[in-house]
């Protein structure tokens, strides 16, 4: 281009500052300018908010930070969940170095209870058409203090938390407090008018177009979003999280517990079977892991095990069905009370099916087996006890008798005449001990 000239002279010819800064401008353009479209991470949160949900959201935020994403979008549809898990999600969002956007979707979805707090913690909130948000009043947990004073303390704590989030994000403080104290709920249009949310978006592309150019404050300072035409990168849960997420479903956890009880009972009833014990043990351990995640009510679990005791006793004691009825009622109430949170509960149809199947299994199936064990043997040597036969010869003390059409040697402590009826009272080898039937 400039033969015979040094690099320094070439810089002076075209303007050494502009020439030497060209590589820096080029690198900046590639890394953060318009040449490269931004990356937006997307995670979907559906169903109840649990500790597993909190771990997944925290991991998604860390990955978005690691890859310098423009934003993390949380597509949310939730009825609520556990307060402790919700607080952890809020803390992770507040400490995030990338903007976090809550998108309440699809149409017909909601952000209720815990979803309200998470939405208020987010940097931006959007709602799809025909969705709603609200009803964030704390609900009494089973087995906890539900007195008026305690509920007031819990409510005041929740109000203080959401008011702090509202003030930090510049959202409607008055509505936030009403959502907690009065359980009010509003549609997406009302939420936009009341400054509860930032946008109404028909889909993810529409949301990213509206987010483009928006400014917000993250943990490291101010951030300007470059989301128009950004590449969307879904956050795929690892197999570990997928497994934990499935197990932490209250319906799955409940079924695992029932299967575990069946398996262990079969193993104890038939030692050495191995397979029922192995399956039952695994199911019980998985169920108790889920219970730890979901926060169970000890009273509900106790009622379920009390019901099993009632069913087993009913098999051995003739209570005319009272114990069986008590077991059914106890198991039904225990299943309903099993989980602390009203937003985390077992489907009523699964409860009814499990209760009826368990009652039928223990009362009828085990009842038949128990009665079969109690029934007098009809074959073999033990089957001869109590049978009536006829003396074929005089017995004093030995002789022969006919029992079941078979001829046996017999002995007796008393004299028995030929032709008399005799009863078998014992078997000694191939000889029967008999007595005279009067």
At 225-247, the pLDDT tens digits run 999 889 999 988 777 777 877 88
Least confident interval from 118-132, 255-269, 291-305, 354-368: 354-368
Contact 311, 323 (CB under 8 A): yes
CA distances from 232 to 30, 37, 43, 110, 126 (A): 18, 10, 10, 23, 17
On average, the pLDDT of the chain sits at 82
Please give the average per-residue pLDDT across 120-149, as a whole number: 80
Torsion angles phi and psi, residue 343, rounded to 5 = -85, -10
Q: How confident is the model at residue 419 (pLDDT cuts 50, 70, 90)?
A: confident
Q: State residue 271's pLDDT score.
A: 73
Least confident interval from 140-154, 207-221, 310-324, 333-347: 140-154
Please give the average per-residue pLDDT across 184-189, as a whole number: 96
H/E run at residue 39:
strand 39-46
Q: State residue 111's pLDDT score.
A: 95
Of 91, 146, 153, 269, the catalytic one is 153
Torsion angles phi and psi, residue 406, rounded to 5 = -110, 145
Peptide bond into 397 cis (omega under 30): yes
Please give the average per-residue pLDDT across 122-151, as a whole number: 79
CA-closest candidate to residue 96, choices 220, 186, 212, 216: 220
Of 113, 119, 179, 248, the catalytic one is 113
Q: How confident is the model at residue 40 (pLDDT cuts 50, 70, 90)?
A: very high
Please give the average per-residue pLDDT across 4-31, as a whole number: 42
Q: State residue 132's pLDDT score.
A: 96
Residue 219, Cβ neighbours under 10 Å: how many? Answer: 12
d(CA 387, CA 422): 8
Contact 209, 157 (CB under 8 A): no
Q: How confident is the model at residue 84 (pLDDT cuts 50, 70, 90)?
A: confident
State yes or no: is 153 an active-site residue.
yes
Q: Is the pLDDT of residue 373 over 70?
A: no
CA distances from 124 to 61, 140, 215, 384, 400 (A): 15, 30, 10, 86, 100
CA-closest candidate to residue 41, choices 66, 64, 68, 67: 64
Contact 50, 345 (CB under 8 A): no
Q: How confident is the model at residue 376 (pLDDT cuts 50, 70, 90)?
A: low
State yes or no: is 246 an active-site residue.
no
Q: State residue 143's pLDDT score.
A: 42
């Amino acid at each position: 281009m400039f033969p015979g000239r040094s690099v320094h002279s070439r810089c002076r010819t075209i303007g050494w500052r502009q020439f030497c800064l060209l590589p820096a401008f080029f690198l900046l353009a590639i890394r953060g300018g318009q040449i490269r479209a931004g990356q937006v991470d997307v995670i979907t949160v559906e169903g109840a908010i649990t500790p597993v949900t909190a771990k997944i959201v925290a991991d998604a935020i860390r990955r978005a930070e690691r890859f310098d994403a423009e934003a993390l979008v949380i597509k949310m549809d939730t009825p609520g969940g556990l307060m402790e898990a919700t607080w952890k999600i809020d803390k992770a969002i507040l400490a995030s170095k990338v903007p976090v956007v809550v998108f309440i979707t699809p149409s017909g979805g909601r952000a209720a209870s815990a979803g309200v707090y998470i939405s208020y913690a987010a940097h931006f909130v959007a709602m799809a058409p025909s969705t709603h948000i609200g009803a964030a009043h704390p609900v009494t947990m089973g087995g906890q203090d539900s007195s008026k004073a305690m509920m007031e303390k819990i409510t005041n704590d929740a109000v203080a938390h959401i008011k702090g989030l509202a003030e930090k994000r510049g959202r409607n403080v008055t509505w936030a407090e009403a959502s907690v104290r009065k359980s009010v709920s509003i549609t997406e249009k009302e939420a936009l008018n009341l400054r509860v949310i930032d946008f109404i978006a028909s889909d993810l592309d529409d949301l990213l177009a509206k987010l483009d150019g928006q400014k917000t404050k993250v943990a490291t300072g101010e951030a300007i979003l470059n989301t128009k035409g950004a590449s969307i990168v879904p956050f795929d849960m690892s197999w570990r999280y997928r497994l934990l997420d499935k197990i932490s479903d209250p319906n799955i956890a409940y079924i695992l517990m029932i299967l575990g009880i069946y398996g262990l009972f079969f193993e104890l009833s038939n030692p050495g079977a191995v397979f029922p014990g192995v399956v039952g043990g695994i199911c019980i351990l998985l169920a108790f892991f889920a219970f730890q995640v979901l926060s169970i009510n000890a009273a509900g679990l106790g009622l379920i095990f009390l019901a099993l005791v009632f069913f087993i006793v009913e098999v051995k004691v003739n209570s005319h069905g009272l114990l069986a009825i008590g077991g059914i009622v106890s198991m039904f109430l225990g299943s309903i009370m099993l989980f602390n949170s009203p937003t985390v509960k077992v489907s009523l149809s699964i409860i009814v099916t499990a209760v009826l199947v368990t009652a039928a299994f223990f009362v009828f199936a085990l009842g038949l087996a128990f009665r079969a064990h109690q029934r007098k043997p009809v074959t073999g040597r033990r089957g001869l006890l109590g049978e009536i036969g006829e003396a074929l010869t005089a017995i004093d003390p030995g002789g022969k008798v006919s029992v079941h059409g078979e001829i046996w040697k017999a002995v007796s402590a008393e004299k028995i005449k030929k032709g008399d009826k005799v009863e078998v009272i014992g078997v000694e080898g191939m000889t029967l001990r008999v007595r005279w039937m009067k």
